[in-house]
A and B are shown apart, each in its own frame.
Chain A
Amino acid sequence: MKDQLDALRLEIERDVKAAKSLEDLEVIEVKYLGRKGELTSMLKGLANVTAEERPVLGALANQIKQDGLDLIAARREDLASSKYSALAETERVDVTEPGARPPEGHLHIMTHTIREITSIFEKIGFYRTRYPEIDWDWYAFEALNMPPEHPARDDWETFFMDAPISKKGKMVMTPHTSNGQIHELQRHNFPIRMIDIGKCYRRQVDATHTPMFHQFEGLFVDKGVNITHLRGILDYFAEQFFGPGRVSRIRPHHFRFTEPSFEVDISCGICGGTGIGADKKKCKVCKRGWLEIGGAGMVHPNVLKACGVDPKKYTGFAFGWGVERVAMMKEGAKVDDIRILYQNDVRFLKQF
C-alpha cells in the first residue's frame, strides 16, 4: 500500500506540473484529493492493513494530501499571474495615439499677465483698482499737471468722445491709467498702495502699438516716501516678474505728472545685462544690456495739490507700464507683433 501511495504522489506531482489552466488544476484536485478522489478511495484500503502499519500509512496519506494541496495552490498562483502577463498581448493598444482630453479653455495672455502682476504687488500690500476708461479731461490731464496746450491733449494723440464738454473739460478716452492716480488720491485714504489696471487708448497702430491696450499703474503715497522705495519696488518687480537675477535701473526722463521722472530699464535676460550676445556680438534683444519697460517718477507736487493733498506732508511715487509690453518682454513669450493679441484668432489664443 505504501507503494501505491508513493505512486499517487508522483502522479499528482506530474499532473500538477502539466496543468495548463486553472480549470485543469480544478480537475486534478477533484480527481486525486476530492471527496471521491483517488486518495480517499485508497484510504479505504487502510482497513486491511495491520494495526502497526495503520498510523504510519495514515500519516503518509495525510502528508500526500497536504503536499498535493500545496502544490496545486502554488501552481494556481503561477497560472493566475501568467494570465495577467498575457494582457500585454491580448489587450494591447497603440499608446502613441492621443488621449481623450477634457474640454479645454484658455485664458487670454492679458488675463494671465494681469494676474501675475496683481499677485506680485499684492504680496507687498498693494490693492488692485480699476477706474474709468472714459473720463473727463480734468482727471486725464489737467490734474496731472499737463497744461491745456500739452501735445497729449491734441486730438492728434488722444481720442476724444463726441460728447458735450462739461465743467471738467472734454470727455476723453484715457491715454494712460494715470487718471486712476487722481481718483485714488482724492479719497485721501493713506497710505495709498494702489495697482490700477485697465484699458487705455491712443491714436497709434504698429507692431508695438494698438489703439486699445492695457496699463498697470502703481501709486504709493505716504509720509516719507522717497526714491529708495521706488528703486526697491522696481527691483522687487524685476525679479518676481522676469526671474531671479534680473534687476532694474532708473534713468532721467520727463513726464508732466512726476518730478523727478524716470525711465525704468530691466536688465536683459538674454545677455545678462552685458549687451554682448553668445556670439560675442551685440545682443539682439536689448539696448546695451537693458530693456526699457516704461516710465516712473516721484508724484509731482502739483498733482498732490490738485487732489487736495499737502505735498509738504505726503510724498510718493508712481509708475505706469504697458501690460502688453511686459508680457511681450518676458523671455520665451516670442510675441513680436502686439496686434495679434486683439485679432481673436483661436490658433493664437489656445497657446496660452
Chain B
Amino acid sequence: MNLLVSYDWLKEYVSLNVKPEDFAARISLSGPSVEKMFPQGEELDKIIVGEVLKIEQHPKADKLKLVNVNVGRLGRTTRDENLSLVCGGTNLYEGQKVAVALVGAKVRWHGQGDLIELQPAEIRGIKSEGMICAASEIGLGEAFPHQESEILDLGKELQGSFQPHLGKGGQGGIVPGTPLANVLGLSGDVVMDIEVTSNRPDAMGMVGLAREASAILKKPMKWKELALKKTSHVARPASHVDGGLSVKIDAKKACSRYIGVRMQGVKVGRSPWWLKRRLLSAGIRPINNLVDITNYVMLETGQPMHVFDTKKLLTPPLKGGRGGFPSIHVRFARANEKIQALDGKTYQLDDKILVIADAERPIAVAGVMGGEETGADEQTTDIVLEAATFDPVIVRKGSRKLNLQSDSQLRFEKGLSQMAPTSAMARAIELVTKLAGGNVVGAPSDVQTEKYKPMTYSVTTDEVTGLIGVEVKKSEMIDVLKRLGFGIKVTGKTIKATVPWWRDHDIEMGRDLVEEIARVIGYAQIPSVVPVGVAPRPTDAILQWEDRLKDATSAVGYTEVFSWSFISEDLLRKAGYDPKNLLHVQNPLSSDWAVMRPSLIPGMLQAVADNQEREKDLRLFECSNVYLRTTYNVPRTTSAQDVGSGTWDGLPDEVPEMMAVIRDADDNEPWRKAKGFVEYLLDTYGITDVHWKRVSQDPSWHPGRSAQAFKNDKPLAIIGEIAPQLTEKFKIKGKVGAALINLREFVEFAKTSKTYTPSLPFPEAKRDLALVVDRNVDYRDLELAITRADERIIKVEWFDTYAGMGIADNKKSVAMHLTIGSREKTLESAEVDGVLENALLACKEKFGATVRG
C-alpha cells in the first residue's frame, strides 16, 4: 500500500535532522520505499497575505468592490505597500486577512478549469494588479470549504491553529506580505509517496514509520505511547457503567478486541488548520472535527477508528430497572439485513459479513465502513468512539463481496495487533477533549476475546551469518533487534527475541529475524559474488526443438505471433468447436478470455483476418501450448475438433504445437506452399520415409486439399487449406494454406545429424516426361512406379499437372523432370531413351498412362 507522508509531520514523532532527500534514500534501502517526493507550497508561489484596509463600491458594477489591501513589503521596499484590487467577495470586511495572488501567481478561475498565470487586468475600466482569492481558486477548496463568491478569510480559518509556524501566537503571525505557504506551514515540507509492503501494516502510520526511521537512522523517538485510563476489562459492561455503554462480542473469532468509549457534551465543528493540513497531506478530505480526529488517529497510529452518534443508536428496552443504555454488538449480519454506508449506498448483507450492531440493526460493516444513519453530524453531542481489532480475512472478504473499500479496510485486511487499539483510543479521547470538548462517560468498555501473549523466536548467530554470507558481529545483531523493539535474551550463540506487539503479524519464525538484521544493516553492505563451477545440464528436448523450428520457420519468411491461451466461445464456434467440451476459466476477466484453446487454429485465423488488409502475402506462425484432456487420445488422428467430453478431472495436457499459415491473395493453391514448408522441415531435420495420407474427415481442413504426414504411424503434421466454411466465418478473403505440426512426435524423429550420400561419378542426363493418366491417379503412385521401373532413375521431380483443353475428360497430364544416371559409366543417349521407355512402360501397365502428345 502506498501512503502519502508529510516529512514535517513525521518529524513530530522521531528526531530527524537529515534532509528529506537523504532520509528518503536511506530508508528506502532498509525499510519502506520512498517512491516519489512532492515539495509543498510551490503551487502557492506569489500568493501572499494581505490585510483589507478599505472597501469601496466599484463605480460601474453593483457586485464588485474596490478593495485597498496592505500587501506588506513587496520586493525590496522598506515600507508596506497598498494595492487596489477589484473583488466580488461577499464576505469582505475591513481588517480582514486575505490571500492575495500577485501577477504571475497560478490561479484557477472560480475553482474551475486549468491553472492559469495571473496577468494585470482591467475590470470594468478599473485596473487590478492582483486578486483576492477564494480558497477554491488556489487549490484549497477542500481545506476551506466556502460558499460561492466568498473569499478566503485567513484570520477566521486559521483561528485556533496555535502552531509554531504561525509565529507569535497564531493570528498574530498572519502578517501582510508573508507568503501564504509560510502561513499555512507548507513551505519546506515535502510529501513523500511511500510504499509499505502488505506484511507491515504497523508501518502504515506515522508512528510506525517513525519507529522504522528511528531503528534505521539510529535517531531517538519523540512519540510516547498513551495509556488508556480507567479501563475496565469486564466482559459484562452492563454491570459497571450506568448510562455508559455496553459492548458484547458475539463473533469471538472475528473480533479479538473492541474498545468502546462514550463521550458526552462534544461540539461538532470544523477542525483547526493544523489538523486539516495533516489530513490533506495524506490525501484525506476534512469533514468535521470528530470524523477528522478518527482519521487523524488512523494516520498517526495505523489503527482505524470510528465514531457513532449515541442518540441515533437504538437501545434495548428497560428491564427491571436495568439496560436502556446504548449497546454495541459485534456479530455477523443476519439474512436480509441491509445497511446504508457512509458512501450513501445501501448494501445487502449476509451471514459472512461482520457488522457492528446496536440493539436491533447493523450500524457499521466491521472494519470497512460506518453506517450513514448513525454517523456524527452537526447536531451530535453524545458519541461512541470505536477502536477494535477485526479478523483480516473476514474484513477482506466482506469488502470484496460488497465491493466496498476504505482506508480502514485496507489496514485491517493486512492484520493489525490486538494491542493497537488502546493507545489509539487514548489519543482520540485526548483530541476530542481538546478540539470538541466533552467528557468520557464512565470507564471505557474494553472487551478482549483472546488473551494476548507476545511470541518469542530464536536464531543463532551462525544462521544469520550463513544466510547473509558475511560475518556480522553478535553485538550488532542484538543492537539492531533492540532498536526495532524486540526484547532480547542471549544464550551463547542463540538470540531469543520477543516480538514487539506492533510486529506480531509479520514475524513468524527465526528466519524473519535474519531479515530484520540484514535489512537494517543495509543490503548494500553485502558483497556481490557470482557463484561458479557447476556443470550445466542438458535442456529439455522440446524447448530446444521449439527454438530450432522457430528459427527454421522465420528464416523462410514466416512471422511469429503469440495468441491468447484462453479465447472466446465465439471464436471457438467460428472455428467449429463446441465450447462445452473444453476447459473453461471459472472467473474470466471477460468473455474474450474464457476457454482454454484446444488448438492454435482459432487464434491464428483471427490473426489472419486482422492482418489481411495489411499484407498481400501474409505468412504467420505460432509455436505454443494447447490444452487437452490427458486421458484423451492425443495427438488426434481423426478430427481436431474431437476433444472428448465430460469433466476435467486431471490437469490438462499442455500440448506443444506449431502452426504456420500462408494467405496470398494471388495464390489459389496455398496448400502447396504449406506442404512444401513441412517437406522443408522434414528434410532439414532428417525425417525420412514419411507417408502422406489424405485428410477428409476433419472439419477444420478442406476435405479435398489436406493431408497428414505419418512416420511409423505417428502423425507428425497436417497440411492443407483451412476449410472454406471456417475462413468465411472469419471473413478472410481468399484461401488459407496451413501446416500444423505436432511437436512431440516431430521431435521424436527429428535429428540434427546428417548422412552424406555421394553424387554419381558420371554425368547425369535430364529428361522431361509428361504422362496422361486418369484424374484420380495419385502423383505419389506414379512417382513410385517410375522410380521402381529402372534403377538408373535417380530422381523424379513433379513440375506441373494440367487438365482441360486438349486433355480428355477425367484425365490429367502430369509433367516431371527425370534424372537418369549410372554408377558405372556415362550413359549413351540411346540408353537414356531406353530408361525413359521402361518408365513409360511401367506407367502404362499400372495406370494406362500415355505420353502427352
Residues of A within 8 A of B (CB): 102-108, 110-111, 115, 122, 124-130, 132-136, 149, 151, 154-156, 159-164, 166, 171, 173, 191, 193, 199, 201, 203-205, 211-212, 220, 224-229, 231-236, 249-254, 259-263, 287-288, 298, 300-301, 315, 341-347, 349-350
> Can you add 17 more A-B contacts, CB < 8 Å, to A105-B558, A149-B392, A344-B611?
A103-B557, A110-B562, A132-B654, A134-B596, A160-B586, A162-B583, A191-B534, A227-B467, A228-B468, A229-B469, A232-B529, A234-B528, A250-B523, A254-B198, A262-B523, A288-B24, A288-B28
Is A346 touching B618 in the complex (CB atoms < 8 A)? yes
Residues of B near A341 (CB, < 8 A) are 562
CB-contacts of B221-279 with A (<8 A) = none
Q: Which of B523, B606, B651 contacts A251 (CB 8 A)?
A: B523
Q: A315 to B123, alpha carbons, bound, how many Å?
A: 77
Q: Is B526 an interface residue (CB 8 A)?
A: yes
Q: A224 to B648, alpha carbons, bound, how many Å?
A: 43
Least distance between B172 CB and chain A CB atoms (Å): 39
Least distance between B605 CB and chain A CB atoms (Å): 11
Q: Which of B535, B538, B558, B563 contacts A342 (CB 8 A)?
A: B563
Is B33 touching A251 in the complex (CB atoms < 8 A)? yes
Shortest Cβ distance from B526 into A: residue: A227
Shortest Cβ distance from B32 into A: residue: A252
A sample of 22 inter-chain contacts (CB < 8 A) reads: A105-B556, A105-B621, A130-B542, A151-B413, A162-B586, A163-B649, A203-B587, A204-B589, A212-B565, A224-B466, A227-B468, A231-B528, A235-B528, A250-B523, A252-B30, A253-B197, A259-B511, A259-B515, A288-B34, A315-B467, A346-B559, A347-B614
Residues of B near A342 (CB, < 8 A) are 562-564
**Can you list, as one digit per residue, whether each of B599-631 has a CB less than 8 Å from chain A (1) or not (0)?**
000000011001100110011110001010000
Is B469 touching A227 in the complex (CB atoms < 8 A)? yes
Is B555 touching A105 in the complex (CB atoms < 8 A)? yes
Q: A317 to B527, alpha carbons, bound, how many Å?
A: 15
Q: A234 to B654, alpha carbons, bound, how many Å?
A: 31
Q: Which of A162, A205, A263, A288 contacts B584 (CB 8 A)?
A: A162
Q: Is B794 an interface residue (CB 8 A)?
A: no
Least distance between A271 CB and chain B CB atoms (Å): 15
Shortest Cβ distance from A235 into B: residue: B528
Least distance between A241 CB and chain B CB atoms (Å): 14
Residues of A near B556 (CB, < 8 A) are 103, 105
**Can you list, as one digit per residue, whether each of B525-545 has a CB less than 8 Å from chain A (1) or not (0)?**
011111111111111101100
Residues of B near A127 (CB, < 8 A) are 536-539
Residues of B near A346 (CB, < 8 A) are 559, 611, 614-615, 618, 620
Least distance between A266 CB and chain B CB atoms (Å): 13
Residues of B near A128 (CB, < 8 A) are 539-540, 543
Residues of B near A171 (CB, < 8 A) are 648, 651
**Can you list, as one digit per residue, whether each of B378-396 has a CB less than 8 Å from chain A (1) or not (0)?**
0000000000000011001
With A128-B543, A162-B584, A287-B35 in contact, do A345 and B610 touch (Cβ < 8 Å)? Answer: yes
With A226-B467, A252-B31, A344-B563 in contact, do A162 and B585 touch (Cβ < 8 Å)? Answer: yes
Residues of A near B519 (CB, < 8 A) are 252, 260
Least distance between B678 CB and chain A CB atoms (Å): 16
Residues of B near A232 (CB, < 8 A) are 528-531
Residues of A near B470 (CB, < 8 A) are 228
Shortest Cβ distance from A106 into B: residue: B559
Q: A125 to B563, alpha carbons, bound, how many Å?
A: 32
**Can you list, as one digit per residue, whether each of B494-513 has a CB less than 8 Å from chain A (1) or not (0)?**
00000000000010010110
Q: Is B524 an interface residue (CB 8 A)?
A: yes
Q: A225 to B534, alpha carbons, bound, how many Å?
A: 13
Residues of A near B615 (CB, < 8 A) are 346
CB-contacts of B462-485 with A (<8 A) = 466-470
With A161-B585, A251-B29, A350-B559 in contact, do A122 and B467 touch (Cβ < 8 Å)? Answer: no
Q: Is B754 an interface residue (CB 8 A)?
A: no
Is B467 touching A298 in the complex (CB atoms < 8 A)? yes
Least distance between B708 CB and chain A CB atoms (Å): 25
Is B589 touching A205 in the complex (CB atoms < 8 A)? yes
Is A315 touching B466 in the complex (CB atoms < 8 A)? yes
Residues of B near A231 (CB, < 8 A) are 523, 526-529
Is A134 touching B540 in the complex (CB atoms < 8 A)? no
Q: Is B438 an interface residue (CB 8 A)?
A: no
Of the listed residues A136, A151, A162, A300, the one surrounded by the most CB atoms of chain B closer than 10 A to its CB is: A162
Q: Which of A133, A220, A263, A298 contacts B625 (CB 8 A)?
A: A133
Q: A308 to B407, alpha carbons, bound, how many Å?
A: 41
Residues of A near B752 (CB, < 8 A) are none
Least distance between A109 CB and chain B CB atoms (Å): 9
Q: Is B518 an interface residue (CB 8 A)?
A: yes
Q: A227 to B514, alpha carbons, bound, how many Å?
A: 11
Q: A347 to B547, alpha carbons, bound, how many Å?
A: 23
Residues of B near A115 (CB, < 8 A) are 547
Of the listed residues A132, A154, A251, the one surrounded by the most CB atoms of chain B closer than 10 A to its CB is: A251
Main secondary structure of the interface of A (DSSP, over half): mixed
Is A149 touching B393 in the complex (CB atoms < 8 A)? yes
Q: A349 to B400, alpha carbons, bound, how many Å?
A: 39
Shortest Cβ distance from B413 into A: residue: A151
Is B651 touching A134 in the complex (CB atoms < 8 A)? yes
Residues of A near B468 (CB, < 8 A) are 226-228
Q: A161 to B559, alpha carbons, bound, how many Å?
A: 32
Least distance between B81 CB and chain A CB atoms (Å): 35
Is A124 touching B562 in the complex (CB atoms < 8 A)? no
**Can you list, as one digit per residue, whether each of B188-208 has a CB less than 8 Å from chain A (1) or not (0)?**
000000000111100000000
Shortest Cβ distance from A289 into B: residue: B25
Is A254 touching B200 in the complex (CB atoms < 8 A)? yes
Residues of B near A193 (CB, < 8 A) are 534
Q: Is B560 an interface residue (CB 8 A)?
A: yes
Closest 4 CB pairs of A and B: A103-B557, A226-B469, A105-B554, A260-B515
Shortest Cβ distance from B33 into A: residue: A251
With A132-B651, A133-B654, A161-B648 in contact, do A260 and B514 touch (Cβ < 8 Å)? Answer: yes
With A111-B560, A163-B647 in contact, do A249 and B29 touch (Cβ < 8 Å)? Answer: yes
Q: A296 to B371, alpha carbons, bound, how many Å?
A: 43
Q: Is B588 an interface residue (CB 8 A)?
A: yes
Residues of A near B563 (CB, < 8 A) are 342, 344
Shortest Cβ distance from A250 into B: residue: B523
Q: Is B574 an interface residue (CB 8 A)?
A: no
Q: Is B566 an interface residue (CB 8 A)?
A: yes
Q: Is B730 an interface residue (CB 8 A)?
A: no
Residues of B near A345 (CB, < 8 A) are 610-611, 614
CB-contacts of B1-58 with A (<8 A) = 24-25, 28-31, 33-36
Q: Which of A106, A133, A220, A288 contacts B531 (CB 8 A)?
A: A220
Is A249 touching B524 in the complex (CB atoms < 8 A)? yes
Is B648 touching A107 in the complex (CB atoms < 8 A)? no
Is B649 touching A173 in the complex (CB atoms < 8 A)? no
Q: Is B652 an interface residue (CB 8 A)?
A: yes
Shortest Cβ distance from B563 into A: residue: A344
Shortest Cβ distance from A135 into B: residue: B651
Shortest Cβ distance from A261 into B: residue: B515
CB-contacts of B120-153 with A (<8 A) = none
Shortest Cβ distance from A189 into B: residue: B537
Shortest Cβ distance from A253 into B: residue: B197
Q: Is B561 an interface residue (CB 8 A)?
A: yes
Q: Which of B29, B34, B540, B651 contacts A129 (CB 8 A)?
A: B540
Shortest Cβ distance from A105 into B: residue: B554
Shortest Cβ distance from B532 into A: residue: A124
Least distance between A138 CB and chain B CB atoms (Å): 12
Is B589 touching A134 in the complex (CB atoms < 8 A)? no
Q: Is B550 an interface residue (CB 8 A)?
A: yes
Q: Is B593 an interface residue (CB 8 A)?
A: yes
Of the listed residues B509, B531, B540, B543, the one surrounded by the most CB atoms of chain A closer than 10 A to its CB is: B531
Shortest Cβ distance from A114 into B: residue: B547
Least distance between B477 CB and chain A CB atoms (Å): 14
Is A344 touching B607 in the complex (CB atoms < 8 A)? yes
Is B529 touching A228 in the complex (CB atoms < 8 A)? yes
Residues of A near B28 (CB, < 8 A) are 251, 288
